[in-house]
Structure 1
Amino acid sequence: MRTFSTVEGLPIISLSTGKEYGHVQDLLYQDGTVIGFLIDPKGWFTKHLFLPVTSIENIGTDGVMISDSHVLKPMTQHEKRAIPLKTGKRRLHGTALLTAEGEKLGLLEDVYFQEEVGTIIGYEVTEGLVADLVEGRSVVKSNSKLTIAGGRAILTE
């Protein structure tokens, strides 16, 4: 189990060549799972790449290891429809997280996921800066589906 904040910014490194291909910029979420990462490639005037979670060999503290560069793909319409955690207008970060009963749990800060399969198993929420300093952030463990609509994220059965 890992949070996205521990992966954000890590370099993408090939196991076969040792070459670095860019850095993890964001997590892409679709239908209850992490489908992969948005990669900011090295170099000027390059487009973002997509790294499917199924193509990741290992995630360490200092890098995300891939077999070779062929697993990095240009963004397709399918990936562009996915919901990003941190970037873009449709991002989850900062979205109100509610239960199906209408209880606000806080604002979504991070996700906990199983890196092998991409299943989201929990959400880190905040009540604000002061509450974070006094009480810390809360972790909401859930296997519920996350419905995103109207600027809110709702945990449903």
Structure 2
Amino acid sequence: MRTFSLLKGLPVYELASGQKLGEVCDVSISSSGSVVGLLVKKGAFIKKTCQVKVGNVVSFGCDGIMINDQSALESMETEPEYTFEHHQSLAGKKLLSKEGEQLGLLEDVYFMEEMGTIVGYELTDGFFSDITNGKRVVKSIDPPAIGKDAIIVTVKSR
């Protein structure tokens, strides 16, 4: 299990040559609430964003992401449905339970790397609340309903 914050900024390497192809800058998330791929910034001066589908990642390491070759980097003809930080951003969005309880604001997502399934959400109630109470993690059992104003999840009972 991995969080987006741990992936952000990690280099993406080609296994065949050991060449660094770019760095993870965001994740592409489907409307059904699963991570479809990693958005990778590549290039030295002119940065271009490409996508690596989760199924094309050979391994998620602590210090880098491995793909077989650069053909796994797909150019982005269309914007992803949602991302964590950029287009249709989910970061900072209200998270509500199916029962109508506001759980907090989305700070990070936990997902299973191999399948791209989001299994948990790290929430914040603000800076001072995080210092005194800490951040909370909510586990979800069903895919979320992602809307313009909020994300609605079925919370796993404790």
Task: Please say whether Structure 1 and Structure 2 have the same fold, judged by a TM-score greater than 0.5.
Answer: yes
Query: Which residue is 1:4 aligned to?
Result: 4
Question: 1:110 touches 1:123 (CA, 8 Å); kept in 2?
Answer: yes
Q: Would you say 1:131 and 2:129 are equivalent positions? A: yes
Q: Would you say 1:151 and 2:152 are equivalent positions? A: no
Amino acid paired to 1:84: T
Question: 1-side partners of 2:149 and 2:62: how far apart?
Answer: 33
Could you give the per-residue CA deviations for residues 38-63 of structure 1, whole angstroms, max 9, x where no partner exists? 11112222421001000001111110
Q: Would you say 1:96 and 2:94 are equivalent positions? A: yes
Query: Which residue is 2:110 aligned to?
Result: 112
Q: Would you say 1:48 and 2:46 are equivalent positions? A: no
Q: Would you say 1:85 and 2:84 are equivalent positions? A: yes
Question: 2-side partners of 1:8 and 1:143: how far apart?
Answer: 25
Percent identical: 40
How far the C-alpha of 1:156 sits from its partner, in A, is 4.9
Q: Which moved more, 1:141-150 or 1:122-131?
A: 141-150
Secondary structure at 1:145 match in 2: coil
Question: 1-side partners of 2:75 and 2:139: how far apart?
Answer: 33
| Unpaired runs of at least 5, structure 1 | none
Amino acid paired to 1:72: L
Q: Would you say 1:142 and 2:140 are equivalent positions? A: yes
> 1:81/1:24 Cα in 2 relative to 1: closer, same or farther (>3 Å)?
closer
Query: Which residue is 1:39 aligned to?
Result: 40
How far the C-alpha of 1:92 sits from its partner, in A, is 0.4
How far the C-alpha of 1:148 sits from its partner, in A, is 1.7
Question: 2-side partners of 1:100 and 1:39: how far apart?
Answer: 34
Question: 2-side partners of 1:21 and 1:94: how far apart?
Answer: 30
How far the C-alpha of 1:69 sits from its partner, in A, is 0.5
Question: 1-side partners of 2:81 and 2:7: how far apart?
Answer: 18
TM-score, length-scaled by structure 1: 0.93
Query: Which residue is 1:14 aligned to?
Result: 14
Question: 2-side partners of 1:143 and 1:81: how far apart?
Answer: 24
> 1:143/1:76 Cα in 2 relative to 1: closer, same or farther (>3 Å)?
farther
Amino acid paired to 2:8: E
